[in-house]
Chains A and B, each alone.
Chain A
Amino acid sequence: MPADDHRVITRLEALLDERGMTLAALADATGVTVVNLSVLKNNRAKAIRFSTLTAICDALACEPGDVLVLG
């Protein structure tokens, strides 16, 4: 299966908007770089580490299913 053949999309932008949070603030809270968060937000990521997902969910007080959905 080709690496890009998936339908997983991230709802990071919507979650940030709902919480009035910027990407830089999320980067500070999670320790993940702004560049990587931007890749994730713009659906250019091909894979996500559990540690990254855990940090995002902790910072946004949400579940993994809120961050990633099937499009």
Chain B
Amino acid sequence: MGTYRRSPGFFFARGLLGVCGMSGVLAVLFKVIDVATADSLHREIRSRARGVEIEHPSLGLSVLDAAPTVVGGLTMAAVAWLLLIVVIDIQRGQVFDDKAARRLRTSALVITVGILAHALIAAWADIAVLKAAPRGRGGNDYSYYFVGAVLPAAPWFLVAALLAVFAHAFREGLRLVQDSDGLV
């Protein structure tokens, strides 16, 4: 176990993860401030050409409108935090650690659950906002809005799959380290 590695790649990774984590936290913070202070609600519906504007929305509607952003921001912050710890551990020379494999697996799970939760809540919010719109347009076809919300986020499933594969590779690495322990 070893020396602290100072490769530029580590600092690049730490910087990117720091920016991702901070973006997630700021997105949540700004959305909460927006809900608390704004008099009107503007929601972009992915499957519609135009956004929807509602003056003096109810608190429930505002919270529902903000929820997908909050879920997305929290997901990003949580995953960035988990991966940042993995990068720091690798930099310290603790590469094939049981905790690293567990954190990678958790990251993959958080991304998957986060994307699905984001899409489900976004579809729910789309329908609620469209119903509350001045002309009361929109329908109740939940799956239509769910697909509209989940498709743009689909590439994140690739990231989750990649992290799950890395977690498996780390577990195999840990097994090899344990096998070679005591070999002379």
Binding site for B on A (CB under 8 A): 3, 32, 36-37, 39-40, 44-49, 52
B184 at interface (Cβ–Cβ under 8 A)? yes
Contact B182 A36 (CB under 8 A): no
Other A-B contacts than A32-B184, A47-B182, 6 sampled, CB-CB below 8 A, are A39-B182, A40-B184, A45-B184, A46-B183, A47-B184, A48-B184
Chain B residues with a Cβ closer than 8 Å to the other chain, count: 5
B92-105 vs A, CB cutoff 8 Å, 1 = contact: the mask equals 00000000000000
| Nearest 3 interchain pairs by C-beta | A46-B182, A36-B184, A47-B183
* Residues of A close to B178: CB separation below 8 A: 3
* Residues of B close to A45: CB separation below 8 A: 182-184
B141 at interface (Cβ–Cβ under 8 A)? no
* Residues of B close to A40: CB separation below 8 A: 184
* Residues of B close to A39: CB separation below 8 A: 182, 184
In the complex, the chain B residue whose C-beta lies closest to that of A36 is: B184
Which of A32, A37, A44, A52 makes the CB contact (< 8 A) with B182? A44
In the complex, the chain B residue whose C-beta lies closest to that of A40 is: B184
